[in-house]
Amino acid sequence: MFNLKNIKVQIFFISCIAIVFLFCKLWEGGLASYDDSFYAAQARGMVEANDYLTPHYGGEAIHHNDPFCLWSMAIAFKIFGFSEYTARFYSAFFGFLTILLVFFLGRAIYNNWTGFFASLILMTTLIWMKFARHAMFDITLSFWVTLTIFLFILSRKTKNKDHANFYLVLTGIATGMAILTKSILGSFAMISIFLFLLFSRDLKTLFNPFYLLSILLALAVPAAWIIPNYAKYGKEFIDIHYGWIIFQRGFVHYRDKQDFWSYLTYVKNIWILYWPWVPFAFFGLIMAVINFFRKKDTFGMLLVLWIFATIGIMSVGNEREFRYILPVFIPFAILTSSVLNNYIIKTEKIKTISAKYSLIVLGIAALLIVATPLHLNWGRDEDIKEISPMLERHIPKGTTLLRYKTEDYFTLQQPFMAYTFLKIEKKDITTQFDIEKILSSDEHVFVITYIESYKTLSKKYPIIAMSNQMVVFTNKYDETKLYPRTIFEGPYKENKR
């Protein structure tokens, strides 16, 4: 019925499965503390401040992150409103584009079947797909660095000199967008290309004016955002955006915890998390190097350098979050697919049968996602998500809540900022005496704590919002907003008078 050798048919099935895997039930679960909530809060802050040059957090300008993903979220919030779906949509969207791009990249380097199976392999790389469903930057970064490599390969394969130069220019723009997505991590593809040209002894391209122009464009694109921020905020912007985020976090923090084995963290994690593809990927990596020196496979070496540049540079730093190297799963997928096509499923008949049964298995998985209650997103920070509508309704925006016997400050602060624009006091009040003293004062305060801690208080203060575990209450009853309520008096009621 379907000719699986047909490119359009292959793209159709890849697209259908990817759409289900990435977008279905994307609205489920709260935004996770730290990154998801932190980024969503900055994007909401942009919309709230009507300032799309600089991210805002807690009503103030903040210089931690590059803007592209925040812009993507902010646009979605502006058009469709804030929700978990609109916060995560851009990441899933660029994940979808990356899966399609992997098909075309594998096809450009090797053949259609390599591209097809590489896309399927990427969709079965659970750690990569997991982050594609998060409101985080790493999958969008994967798209831009993959596009950079793809455009460079097109510049090498075309016989038209003008087209080749045009692709080189686009390579620089794509790199600039990658840098606008995640700072220096966006430059790794261009670094890989430079190393590839050195290995290939291609001095002609190295000194090609259009290649040099691509490097200038890679710097000019992020400079269009960096320069206005520096002009507006001066040294503060540089100190935070580069001094703190890159230098301090990358090379100063955790310095005392480093040993020889810590520099192999990424290799260890790939070995643990990339099954069943690990042996095929490493064999493909070795064969790509061998074939490069045998002059049988030029671009396989570019994939190898892409992997080594990313892992090597990121291993030098002290903070080795696994998501920082997620783009390497693109070259790994292509090398793995190449091994399968060259050494295991060699004939067209076997390739077609393998493709058919792979699509059946993935199709069943997609059907289970659509037709069953299977959850793809963890229910993270559900308490904050549940109580946030009441808090937004009854507590003035920008108010700082006191903490009484709660968890880590950032675990609460970031989802609170994302969902409510409310701040949380950094210092946690740990004794009943201290909190009772504050509550008995004339100052109007709002407190967040857990239900068990609330029950131990000498008075049952008016509750503003409550979930299964968490409660927010105040010491001053405002009869125009809510009835005083304790956890023993039934569900919350709004004042109808």
Which structural domain, as residue segments, surrounds residue 428? 382-474
Q: Report if residue 376 sits inside a domain.
A: no
How many structural domains comprise the chain?
2
Out of 371, 397, 412, pick the residue that ends a domain: 371
Q: Report if residue 496 sits inside a domain.
A: no
> Which residue numbers in the chain have pLDDT < 70?
1, 256, 379, 478-497
Does 90 lie in the same domain as 206? yes
426 burial type by CB count under 10 A (0-12 exposed, 13-18 middle, 19+ buried):
exposed
Q: Report if residue 482 sits inside a domain.
A: no
Does 317 lie in the same domain as 188? yes
Q: Report if residue 99 sits inside a domain.
A: yes
Three-state DSSP at 25 gives coil
Q: What is the pLDDT of residue 480?
A: 54
Q: What is the pLDDT of residue 476?
A: 81
Does 466 lie in the same domain as 399? yes
Q: What is the pLDDT of residue 413?
A: 85
Q: What is the pLDDT of residue 479?
A: 56
Does 402 lie in the same domain as 366? no
Kindly report the pTM of this predicted structure: 0.91
Does 153 lie in the same domain as 55? yes
Q: Report if residue 489 sits inside a domain.
A: no
Q: Give the separation between CA 151 and CA 178, rounded to whole angstroms.
A: 14
Q: Report if residue 163 sits inside a domain.
A: yes
- Give me the sheet containing 446-450, strands edge to edge: 423-429, 400-404, 446-450, 470-474, 463-466
Q: Give the separation between CA 352 and CA 17, rounded to whole angstroms.
A: 18
Q: How far is CA 55 from CA 185, 219, 228, 233, 413, in A?
A: 19, 21, 13, 12, 17
Q: Give the separation between CA 175 and CA 188, rounded to whole angstroms.
A: 9
C-beta of residue 211 within 8 angstroms of C-beta of residue 168: yes
Does 400 lie in the same domain as 355? no
pLDDT tens digits, one per residue of 11-50: 999 999 999 999 999 998 888 877 899 999 999 999 999 9
